């Protein structure tokens, strides 16, 4: 960060800045003076039927007050049950029951924080038999009913399209452009289990060609959106990361030009 690369904004995991003092939060205070910030949470467990974790929410609120982020986001999933946390983004069944539950929780969080949050679609490796609503409708309805915005993860859409056999472009075309305030891109791993291909969201490698193509489609369908490349393990040298960001920027600029 000392070289102050020319980035439009930065995103960090909210939980990594829950500490009350120390190096991490102090450095983020400084970074915040030079860049707009997005706080991206993984632990609020919005889809869990456990009571909302008030302590976690209070820490998130403290971080929001300290860093004044331009965006605050969480995931459309659950991560805890019976007060045990599994530290993975677990899939909901797409039912009216789950939709009502998650909409109420998001509304509660937004009320508490006094601001809108964005909700991100997650990668999943299984579906429930009683899911009655397609994922894209579930996401769209979550935003429409709770008033939250959407953080559309294009890699997760591709991963799920392959894992569960649906049309990724149709998914994107079903999302109202005005709700989408941010896009995520990331790398994923291709695994073969018993001869069946399963894509796993890993954030540890470059974005795949199929996802770049889908991103170009998303920009066409949704218009230009702030885009972040998630790469949070097996980090390469900064130039490699910047090259990925520049690639996304080119597509963005291109879509800007096409739109005007």
Partner 1 sequence: MLPLPELESRFGQALSGNPVGELSICSNGLTGAQRLQVYRNNMQSALMGALRSVYPTTERLVGEEFFAATAHAYAKANPSHSGNIQDYGGTFPRFIHSFEPAAALPYLAEVAAVEWLRLETAQAPGHTPMDLAALAAVPRESQPGLHFRRQPAVRIFSSRFPVLTIWEYCQSVAPKTQLDIDLPGECVLFARPALDVYMRRLTAGEYTLLHRLAQDKTFEAACLEALEVEPGFDVEQTFAALVREEILTGFDH
Could you list the residues that contact partner 1 (CB under 8 A)?
15-16, 18-24, 26, 42-45, 48-49, 53, 56, 59, 78-88, 90, 92-93, 95, 97-98, 101, 125-130, 164-165, 193-194, 196, 198, 200
Alpha carbons 199 and 191: distance in angstroms, whole number: 6
CB of 53 to partner 1, least distance (A): 6
DSSP codes, 205-259: SPPPHHHHHHHHHHHHHH----EEEE--SS---HHHHHHHHHHHHHHHHHHHHHH
CB of 237 to partner 1, least distance (A): 21
Q: Which of 51/239 has CB closer to partner 1? A: 51
Q: How many CB atoms lie within 10 A of CB 81?
A: 13
Q: Which of 137/173 has CB closer to partner 1? A: 137
CB of 201 to partner 1, least distance (A): 9
CB of 255 to partner 1, least distance (A): 33
* DSSP structure class, residue 92: P
To which residue do tokens 């579930």 refer? 138
Q: Which of 43/149 has CB closer to partner 1? A: 43
Cα dihedral 13/127/153/41 (nearest 10)? -20
Q: Which of 198/241 has CB closer to partner 1? A: 198
């Amino acid at each position: 960060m000392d070289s102050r690369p020319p980035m439009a904004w930065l995103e960090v995991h909210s939980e990594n800045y829950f500490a009350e003092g120390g190096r991490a939060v102090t450095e983020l205070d400084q970074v915040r003076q030079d860049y707009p910030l997005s706080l991206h949470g993984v632990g609020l467990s919005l889809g869990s039927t456990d009571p909302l974790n008030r302590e976690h929410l209070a820490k998130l609120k403290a971080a929001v007050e300290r860093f004044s982020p331009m965006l605050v986001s969480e995931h459309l999933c659950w991560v805890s049950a019976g007060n045990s946390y599994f530290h993975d983004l677990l899939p909901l069944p797409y039912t009216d029951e789950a939709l009502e539950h998650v909409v109420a929780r998001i509304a509660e969080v937004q009320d508490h924080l006094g601001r809108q949050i964005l909700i991100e679609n997650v990668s999943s490796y299984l579906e429930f038999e009683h899911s009655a609503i397609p994922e894209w409708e579930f996401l769209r309805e979550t935003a429409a009913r709770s008033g939250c915005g959407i953080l559309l993860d294009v890699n997760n859409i591709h991963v799920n399209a392959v894992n569960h056999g649906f049309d990724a472009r149709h998914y994107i075309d079903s999302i109202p452009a005005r709700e989408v305030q941010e896009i995520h891109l990331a790398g994923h791993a291709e695994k073969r289990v018993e001869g069946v291909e399963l894509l796993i969201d890993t954030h540890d490698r470059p974005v795949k060609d199929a996802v770049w193509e889908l991103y170009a489609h998303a920009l066409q369908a949704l218009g230009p959106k702030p885009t972040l490349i998630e790469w949070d393990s097996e980090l390469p040298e900064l130039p490699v990361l910047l090259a990925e960001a520049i690639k996304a920027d080119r597509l963005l600029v291109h879509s800007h030009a096409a739109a005007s």
